[in-house]
Structure 1
Amino acid sequence: MVERCKDAGITILPSAGPVAEMFNGKKIASSTRARDLKEGQYPAAVYVPRADTVERFLAPQSTSATAPSRAPHAILI
């Protein structure tokens, strides 16, 4: 199913298959529920639900965005 965030021009699609994210040789996320977010001419970004991440590898950051289509804060590894 294709979703669209009309106000921001973002298209949201289910990822083609399972997604696994690695950092320094450790798996930090694994999901069959990941989504590809496509905005204009930018490369697609992969969204992995927080429940599918290994929390101990993540730390809240003070980074934020003012655009309503963006997450209210960033989680970085």
Structure 2
Amino acid sequence: MISIDFSWFALLYVGAGMAIIFGFWFYYDIRDRRLYQEVRDRVTFHCIKCGKIYTDNREKNVSGCPQCGFENARLKF
């Protein structure tokens, strides 16, 4: 049987637990970026003519309403 001192066992136990926690943290951070980056890159617009709220790409400062076609500026919060 392997003989190991208690302090080494405790160090390995805590180190393995922290490695698992950081591994999950890294995995879910990468997964979150991949899944939700498209949603984060959207900008909200509010049509002042018909009242519709819609989203479009982040690069655009002016976008046409999909319902009435009126050109609206992006919302600033």
Give TM class, smaller chain: under 0.3
Larger strand proportion of the pair:
1
TM-score (norm 2): 0.25
Greater helix percent: which structure? Answer: 2
